Structure 1
Amino acid sequence: MTPARFAGVLSAAVTLGVAAACSDGGSPVDPGGCAADLTTGIAAYDLDGLDVHAVLPTSTSSCIVANADSHFVAVDPSAQPSGRLFVFLPGSAARARNYRKIAFAAARAGYPAIVLTYVNDLPVGVRCAFGTGDCYEEVRREIITGVDASSRLTVGPDDAIEGRLVHLLTAMESLDPGSGWSTFHDGASPRWDRISVAGHSQGGGHSLFLSRETTVFRATAYSSAGDLEPLSATPVPWLDGSWATPAERIGGFISEDDEVVSPSGAIAAWTRIGLDDFGGPVSVDDTAAPWAGARMLTTRAPPRNAGAVFTPHHGVTVVDGLTPLELDGAPTFGPVWAALSFPGS
């Protein structure tokens, strides 16, 4: 980052650092209702032509109290703007910095990219152990919106995915005023119709749930079935019924060797949503892009650094240290990511 640019960011941060008290736990998020202090907890730098920020959630709002690991933001100032935002939700206990490659790819496609830190310390299936099928929906609703929907956890509006996203977008308007961040929220509400939301594992389930509840620009589940019953690996009740987002805007990508999520269970869940209307499942290893427009894609590709984790195939679709690379260092699944999550039109 140039000295002049840093000075501009610091000045804007000081201006934003004055604020009011937190909103109470039962009220909607007010972006101006919690103290923001962008003079600390912010790292901004240039990386291979991209403008990158690491932002502590607590710097964007004093009302955020859980999981304070940094959000990750990437923008390509030379890309043709798409008018869309890419938001990626990490898997259980994963950190935003584990998913930089897909964020960089989205940024270069003209989608300002956010990898959002949220309350992901436990898998939804663990929270719902010995619970009813409705538990999965209740837990996801609370993590996403902050509505008191489940007795299995406590997530307030500011700590919820939507609250954290609005606070971050508001902060980015000062940190990076040229990237149009204000167009992606309407006051306290994200403009999901302008947002491509994706996620890995638990995060992929949240992206599917969001696409059921509201109209999103795109929703992609990487290594995720949404939720499956633990013994039968059959889709849970919330995957049935009507969806606000048309099926042609939803996609899924999974390894056929996934150790955590049943691939057949994922296909069954995606079929419930209607993704089978577009063909598939199709292996990206055996056929070339764009895979005849299929929305259910699979792979048998071996993960990099497979010995580093217990479940490498679960992360091969999108985790930085596991997803395969071409000889030039480009992600092998870059075309998959683009087709499902940030298409050119």
Structure 2
Amino acid sequence: MKWTVVLLTAVSALQVATLNAAEPPAYRDKSPKRYDLTARASQIDPRANPHPEINFLFEKDGKPQDLQHACVDTRVQPQGKLVIWLMGHSQPLFERTSSYGLHAIRVHYANGWFGQFGKEPPPADDKFLGKIRLEAANGEDFSDVVDIPKPDGMQERARQFVIWLSKEKPQGQWQQFLTPDHKDLRWDKVIMAGSSHGSTTAARFAKHQQVDRVVMFCGPRDQYETWQALPSATPANRFFGFSHVLDGGWSGDHYCRSWELLGLGEFGPIINVDTAMPPYSNTRRLITAADVKGDVNRAHSSVVPGGAAVKDASGKFIHEAVWRYLFTHPVDEVGTPTPHDPDCRLNLRKDNAK
């Protein structure tokens, strides 16, 4: 009888866990609305510090630089997923993710190293930039050239922010993204997302830490590195990329290379969204050739909701369906494996040395 009780208790616990995973907690909001929230990282966590050695500051020209953003819409059916955005705040993006039923935060973390170390690693280390990205993301000692303690990494800044949100705005049910002891985030509920430099760091972090999904706008790059091919804690079918064909990341084979090294060719071909409809053959690799007046810089930013994004004649963004696909397409629905593109150079350092 004792073992029967123990077994039934274990089964019940499993059923509860399954139920909780399938059904996010409902909002408890007497006046449902979209919440656009801000807080300074230095005020949330007194351990947080600036890093002037990599131009990572709390204030500049009298203005705060460590402002963090969060968004949730309690009028929308919750999906139980938290987007962590690794780039400058994008209100148009947060408005869309909240409309999908997703929570979203943008944290201020020590990412100012990029301008100091550039885009090309030393020849002896083909994971040089990836190590810096990983240290900036989780605050552990992966790189010899930066010293970013845990309170200043993305991982701890995100945890502290979610704790603050759960206390200050309980209507949003932010506590669901914390472990019971609040010592970590529920990474199985997290969508890492970013654009450009941010999408590269999102991908690098997801190789190290299993997350629910990765959304990569105009990226990833680190063109001479091979960390993209490392064993991945996050399954490859959970990585989604979207970029413009005029983006400089295409002229040097940087995007196609990273996508192939990540293993995304196993889930479908590169699809041009201008001539396709959702679900885009269930692929993970999306491109657009939308008219940006030949502006390469605009092309780079045009894939993210915002001022550079392309609109139709009526003034509506043309990529609404793409954005929803990237954040909500079922990860188990995948396309047909596609062979390596021989025109996509995978070893750029070797090829450029010829």
State the TM-score bracket (shorter-chain normalisation): 0.7 to 0.9
1:53 pairs with 2:37: yes
- Cα distance in 1 between the residues matched to 2:292 and 2:104: 24
Deviation at 1:217, TM superposition (A): 0.8
Corresponding residue for residue 268 of structure 1: 257
TM-score using structure 2 length: 0.73
Corresponding residue for residue 118 of structure 1: 109
Corresponding residue for residue 109 of structure 1: 100
Structure 1 counterpart SS, 2:166 = helix
- Cα distance in 2 between the residues matched to 1:106 and 1:328: 23
- Cα distance in 1 between the residues matched to 2:183 and 2:312: 41
Please identify runs of 4+ aligned residues in structure 1 that moved more than 4 A.
260-263, 326-330
- Cα distance in 1 between the residues matched to 2:183 and 2:119: 28
> Alpha carbons of 1:261 and 1:127: their partners in 2 closer, same or farther (altered >3 Å)?
same
Deviation at 1:116, TM superposition (A): 2.3
Deviation at 1:297, TM superposition (A): 0.3
The one-letter code matched in structure 2 to 1:80 is Q
- Cα distance in 2 between the residues matched to 1:262 and 1:62: 44
How many residues align? The count is 283
- Cα distance in 2 between the residues matched to 1:215 and 1:202: 20
State which of 298, 304, 309 in structure 2 corresponds to 1:318: 304
Deviates more, 1:148-157 or 1:125-134: 125-134
> Alpha carbons of 1:263 and 1:223: their partners in 2 closer, same or farther (altered >3 Å)?
farther
- Cα distance in 2 between the residues matched to 1:64 and 1:184: 21
- Cα distance in 1 between the residues matched to 2:143 and 2:103: 33
> Alpha carbons of 1:189 and 1:174: their partners in 2 closer, same or farther (altered >3 Å)?
same
Corresponding residue for residue 157 of structure 1: 150
Runs of at least 5 residues in structure 2 that lack an aligned partner in the other structure = 1-31, 51-56, 59-64, 332-354
Corresponding residue for residue 275 of structure 2: 286
Corresponding residue for residue 49 of structure 2: 65
Deviation at 1:262, TM superposition (A): 4.6
Deviation at 1:195, TM superposition (A): 0.8
1:148 pairs with 2:137: no
State which of 277, 288, 301 in structure 1 corresponds to 2:266: 277
Structure with a larger share of its residues in helix:
2
Corresponding residue for residue 19 of structure 2: none
- Cα distance in 2 between the residues matched to 1:343 and 1:76: 20
Residues 202-213 of structure 1 aligned to structure 2 (within 5 Å): 202-213=197-208
- Cα distance in 2 between the residues matched to 1:281 and 1:263: 17
- Cα distance in 2 between the residues matched to 1:137 and 1:245: 16
Corresponding residue for residue 198 of structure 1: 193
Structure 2 counterpart SS, 1:254 = strand
Residues 1-345 of structure 1 aligned to structure 2 (within 5 Å): 49-66=33-50, 67-68=57-58, 69=65, 70-90=67-87, 95-96=88-89, 99-123=90-114, 126=118, 129-130=121-122, 132-186=125-179, 187-229=182-224, 236-259=225-248, 262=251, 264-303=253-292, 311-318=297-304, 320-326=306-312, 330-343=316-329
Structure 2 counterpart SS, 1:81 = coil
Q: Is the 8 A contact 1:101 1:331 kept in 2?
A: no
Q: Is the 8 A contact 1:198 1:219 kept in 2?
A: yes
Deviates more, 1:315-324 or 1:292-301: 315-324
Runs of at least 5 residues in structure 1 that lack an aligned partner in the other structure = 1-47, 230-235
Higher CA-based Rg: 2
- Cα distance in 1 between the residues matched to 2:252 and 2:320: 21
The CA deviation string for residues 71-105 of structure 1, in whole angstroms up to 9 with x for no partner, is 12111110001011111111xxxx32xx1111111
Q: Output the aligned Cα RMSD.
A: 2.4
Deviation at 1:254, TM superposition (A): 0.9
Structure 2 counterpart SS, 1:190 = coil
